[in-house]
Structure 1
Amino acid sequence: MEPFYRQLDVGRFESTAATSGPWRSDAQHAGPPSALLARQMELHEPRDGMRLADVRTDILGPVPVAPLTVTVQTLRAGRSMELLEATASADDGRPALIARAWRILRAPDDFPTLAATGEGSPPDSPADASVLAGSPIPGAEENGYGRSVEWRFVSGGTGEGGSTVVWGRQLNALVDEEEPSPWQRVLVLADSGGGVTFSLDPRQHRFINCDLHVALERDLEGEWLRMDAASRAAGGHGGIVHDVLSDERGKIGIGLQAMVAQDVG
């Protein structure tokens, strides 16, 4: 299966048709480029015993299905935590996405577990859920991204309401034939929180995120990510999407998106 990207040179990538989003064939879904920025930050001056704690991606405009150049810098160095920044730019020099991540020391293996009462493995699994082929957004066109991920809905979805429980997995590689890292798998899917919960007619209403902020307490185990997602909008103001992220062992983190809520036309 075609990967999302092919590496052309150090920090330079060809975007394949697999990155194309649901609205325009020449614009990427924001999940793959967000994951690409995380990959580059993971590879930037790596240090043993450290991990990405969170990734916040700001979407500055449409990301073209075209070559991208990614640069990474350390904004704040430190022994226990450091702040990284990655930027993806098109050939015209325009930055399309900027991501920042805190890279922190891993907690000791014997650090006490902190969890809310009653937390444990999810009450459902991918095997329990119904498979949806293609885009989960009602009225959206078939696209490369939609063919590169698999969704299995436990509840909600396909225009049923503003909350959804869904399992998803990435079917292809992010770059060339590499095995995606846990962070990369999460970001490819987490940007779809607004899509899997959107219950309005996209031909009449627009609900598009301008950012994606994900924080993980631990790494994803396996391919499947569970998203317990809810979208909210307030007339005269705006909207948000909030996701509780889990794998088959239990909760791993949260996702948050600020949404532009507008009428079409």
Structure 2
Amino acid sequence: MSSFYSQLDDAVYASHPATAGPWSAEAQHAGPPSALLARAIERHEPREGMRLADFRADILGPIPVAPLEVSARTLRGGRSMELIEATASAGGRPVLAARGWRILRASADFPPLPADGAAAVAGSGPRRTALELPPASATLEGSLIPGAHEDGYLAAVEWRFTTGGPGSGGVAEVWGRQLIDLVEGEEPDAFQRALVLADSAGGVTFTLDPRRHRYINCDISVSLHRDPEGEWLRMSAESIASPGHGGLVRNVLADGRGEVGIGVQTMVAQEL
């Protein structure tokens, strides 16, 4: 298991067993295909000085472990911002649709916000304090989700928890890194690595019995104000469920230098 995908031609990718999610060996975890669409957005008519800053994917149905055809097009062009749409299809049926904003990279001398010493509103400002990776002894042993399919995505990512974990009540702080390439023979970039991990925010905060409760996401949204550095990414995630309404997972993403962005997932919450 060396990669999630292999590129077969300009538009088609073979999906390897490593893409399989926790619920079935036949259906993909949404992290790798989301990263694959981010890659397509980044490579579509690229321009110097632009960076992918915001990405949202809608999960249109189960994503089979099968060849995926990927397409991309520009929805809105511009000198300082561009909106790109990308779609993954299996057997002629769209299974994942994404939009991403590519924006002009800020100059190196642009003043940081909040300004040093300024108070963040409700603690919402980015923390720039250096963060320390937990030791190898903190690596998760056993299953992230009880009874899950273990030989796909869950075997392709390493997790080190600092707070919480499976069954801990819906809150967790965890470092993760993908262990294989996204596309065979390519080093994944920062946004791709972030998406491979960020779709697991609901999993690392998993606390419900899957035999009694359904709690799965229908989308994933990630916005990064800074490109993450290194192969490890920290997620500070919280699962929320409001009886009679629905669910949400919110996630603060960070690297060793501090916070880099946020992730959000809309969750379907049902009794089985």
TM superposition shift of 1:134: 5.8
CA deviation map 1:7-31 (0-9, x unaligned): 0000110000000011111000000
Structure-2 residue corresponding to 1:66? 66
Between 1:243-252 and 1:128-137, the stretch displaced more is 128-137
Output the amino acid matched with 2:94.
P
Matched, 1:179 2:178: no
- Conservation of the 8 A alpha-carbon contact between 1:128 and 1:154: no
Cα offset, 1:129, TM superposition: 6.6
Q: Give the drift of 1:128.
A: 7.4
**Cα distance in 2, alignment partners of residues 134 and 171 from structure 1:** 17
- In the alignment, the residues of structure 1 paired with residue 48 and residue 80 of structure 2 have an alpha-carbon distance, to the nearest angstrom, of 11
* 2:230 matched residue in structure 1: 222
Alignment partner, residue 54 of structure 1: 54
Aligned partner of 2:89 in structure 1 is: 89
- Which amino acid is the alignment partner of residue 36 of structure 1? L
Query: Secondary structure of the equivalent of 1:18?
Result: helix
Give the Cα–Cα distance (whole angstroms) in 2 for the partners of residues 84 and 150 of structure 1.
31
State the distance in 2 between where 1:185 and 1:214 align. 12
Q: Match for 1:48: what amino acid?
A: E
Distance 1:186 1:232 in 2: 21
Q: Secondary structure at the match of 2:102?
A: strand
1:133–1:151 CA contact under 8 A, matched in 2? no
**Structure 2 unaligned spans of 5+:** 115-119
CA shift for structure 1 position 119: 2.4
* Partner of residue 117, structure 2: none
Matched, 1:197 2:205: yes
1:40 aligns to what SS in structure 2?
Answer: helix
CA-atom RMSD, angstroms? 1.4
Give the CA deviation at 1:2: 2.1
Task: For 2:103, give the aligned amino acid.
Answer: I
The residue type paired with residue 7 of structure 1 is: Q
Paired residue for 2:107? Answer: 108
Change in 2 beyond 3 A, CA 1:134/1:37: farther
Q: What is the CA distance between 1:69 and its match in structure 2?
A: 0.1
Distance 1:66 1:32 in 2: 13
Tell me how far 1:124 sits from its aligned partner.
Answer: 3.9
What's the CA shift for 1:122? 5.0
Q: How many angstroms apart in 2 are the aligned matches of 1:10 and 1:42?
A: 15
CA separation in 1, counterparts of 2:65 and 2:154? 15
CA distance in 2, matches of 1:79, 1:239: 37
Map 1:1-265 to 2 at 5 A. Answer: 1-91=1-91, 93-115=92-114, 116=120, 119-127=127-135, 130-133=138-141, 135-264=143-272
Percent identical pairs in the alignment equals 63
Amino acid at match of 1:246: A
**Structure 1: gaps spanning 5 or more residues:** none
Give the distance between the partners of 1:129 and 1:244, measured in 2 at CA: 24
C-alpha distance in structure 2 between counterparts of 1:103 and 1:25, whole Å? 34
- Report the CA distance between 1:237 and its aligned residue: 0.6
CA contact (8 A) 2:25 2:149 kept: no
Post-superposition Cα deviations, 1:151-187, rounded to whole Å, max 9, x if no partner, equal 0000111211110000000000000110000000000
SS in 2 for 1:174: strand
Count of paired positions: 263
**TM-score, normalization by structure 2:** 0.93
CA apart distance, 1:136: 1.6
Structure 2: distance between partners of 1:135 and 1:42 = 34
Contact kept in structure 2, 1:52 and 1:102, CA below 8 Å? yes
Q: Which amino acid aligns with 2:47?
A: R
TM-score by length of 1: 0.96
SS, match of residue 260 in structure 1 = strand
Is the Cα–Cα contact under 8 Å of residues 131 and 257 in structure 2 kept in the other structure? no
Are the equivalent residues in 1 in contact too, given 2:158–2:176 (CA < 8 A)?
yes
Q: Which moved more, 1:115-124 or 1:76-85?
A: 115-124
Retained in 2: the 8 A contact 1:134–1:142?
Answer: no
